Amino acid sequence: MRLRVPAVFATLSLLAVPSPALAGAHPLRAKNGMVVSQHFAASQVGIEVLWEGGTAVDAAVATAFALAVVHPTAGNIGGGGFLLLRPAKGEPIAYDFRETAPAAAAPTMFLNEGRYDAAKHHDSHLAVGVPGTVAGLHLAWKQHGKLPWQRLLEPAIQMAEQGFLVTEELSRSLAGVLPQLAKYPASKAAYSRDGKPYEAGDLLVQKDLARTLRRIAERGPAGFYQGETARLIAKEMAARGGLITEKDLAAYSPQVRVPVRGQYRGHDVISMPPPSSGGVALIQVLNILEGDDLEAMGFRSAASVHLITEALRRAFADRAQHLGDPDHNPEMPLARLLSKDYARLLRQTIRADRAAVSSPETFEWPVESDETTHFSVVDAERNAVALTYTLEAGYGSKIVVPGAGFLLNNEMGDFNAGPGLTDDTGLIGTAPNLAAPGKRMLSSMAPTILAKDGALRMVTGSLGGRTIISTVLHTILNVVDYGMNVQEAVDAARFHHQWLPDVIRYERHGLSPDTLALLADRGHRLEPLGLLGVAAAITYDKEKDRLEGAADRRSPDSAAVGR
């Protein structure tokens, strides 16, 4: 496979730790299309699809399958996610290909004699949900693609079959996860050299994965959900206590949903609806913040950090109480949660001089891994795609399907632990997100597109579990409120609050000592961390008819590629 990357058209991430705001950081600029993803080879695969006249959806499909080869920590065919499309003409569309619980799932499936079993919930074959990625990508392509399906998979097949060079980032990642992968012979064989970690510069060949991808290329979803691949998945499940059957796989269906919509300072905000909580929470926070002048408060001032934190606190509390799979929770109060009137009521509960207190007796939620990946695509006609998908934890369940060469998710871990189990350790037993046959588990993924005056303005999203919501929020605020270009917006240091635990987590050196002291005086507990999220964003300047893209320099393999 050719990989043509003219230096003027590609930017790679080189920065390990972000500064509070990298003023003057330059985005990639292009006119006729752009792809920003977490791996430079996948971005290049996507841009070559645009070079050949493919649509943004075509490029997204090709990029997604390429990431399944070169970014195994989250790129996948054994997981699921969401694709948000804003066509240049017509209404936005949300494709939901979140995993589903198998038919034998039950609310109490993670309990042993009434006691919660974390290993069952997160680290077993029971934790695997029915994958949705292949079906979801195919449906989006069928409705909005132009190039042949096989053409879109061919780069991924070639990279799996012929191999690709392991980067320093992938080498470190594989070495770190190898002890967990080694529990499963097929996983050990796929991602190590007879138990020894791959080093940077080694060639990683995945013959079994190439054969699986070729079946998908030739037969579409039937090449995954039926026939040899389905048989291999079901065989592995039956052998090790999993629940997924060939019937579960054949019954999987992606859903087309109506995006959630909001308005923020003259911008249309379009995002993912449930079973993702990301769009609802994001719009709710923006609605709260719209009543104040963040720019006048000052970037990363104590006043602005306090206000954003309190807005996030309230949105995450509502997330825990109300949101889940809409097909199993038809009474979710989405209209109220998204309304400006409700935001005004919430804003009145925020004290400027004091942090609120989060109570573990009120709301909590299960652990959600930060190992997701997001990419953004815009084509020459200004069709825009924001796609976020995941295996849940890094490398998912760590289970490679023997003979099929791909990793399975552990998304069942995103369901609540069991009925009535809410306690101060972080377990939750509320009904909206308990496991049930065919149910989709709640997510925080937030692929988001902004428009202004009828034209595309921004495409954004991030990895990061629940921190996705705050990461996407910061990219939007940095562009809309603080006037940053998209690279500055992505580079700027971030912070996060999620109701419980009641703590502001912030990127080390991202908040000044004075700001930290003032926040502590208001009653906030603060915790520094390394990096928070990995965003992939594109903005569009209608006046100049120019795209600007930003690869997140927190992830060294990330790249923006334009044409």
Q: Catalytic residue positions?
A: 372
Token look-up 């609540």 returns 416
Q: How many Å apart are CA 28 and CA 12, to the nearest integer? A: 10
Q: Measured between alpha carbons, how far is residue 348 from residues 285, 311, 339, 343 in Å?
A: 14, 11, 15, 9
Of 223, 222, 328, 337, whose CA–CA distance to 279 is shortest?
Answer: 337
Count Cβ atoms within 10 A of the Cβ of residue 330 and give its class: 0-12 exposed, 13-18 middle, 19 or more buried: exposed
Residues found in the chain: 563
Structure tokens at 316: 């995450």
CB 127 within 8 A of CB 36: no
Q: How many Å apart are CA 172 and CA 243, to the nearest integer? A: 33
Mark out the alpha helices in 220-277 (DSSP H runs).
222-225, 227-239, 246-251
CA 193, 197, 199, 204 dihedral sign is positive
Structure tokens at 281: 């929470």
Of 147, 138, 55, whose CA–CA distance to 377 is shortest?
Answer: 55
Q: Measured between alpha carbons, how far is residue 491 from residues 279, 486, 551 in Å?
A: 22, 9, 9
DSSP calls for 395-454: TTTS-BPTTT--BPP-GGGGS-SSTT---TTS----GGG---TTPBPPB----EEEEETT
CB atoms within 10 A of CB 108: 13
Q: Measured between alpha carbons, how far is residue 449 from residues 70, 84, 232, 236, 554 in Å?
A: 26, 8, 38, 39, 22
Residue 419: phi and psi, rounded to 5, are -60, 130
Q: Using alpha carbons only, how large is the chain's radius of gyration in Å?
A: 22
CB 472 within 8 A of CB 462: yes
DSSP calls for 485-509: -HHHHHHS--EE--SSS--EEEETT
Assign residue 114 a region (left: φ > 0; alpha: ψ between -120 and 50; beta: otherwise): left
CB 80 within 8 A of CB 444: no
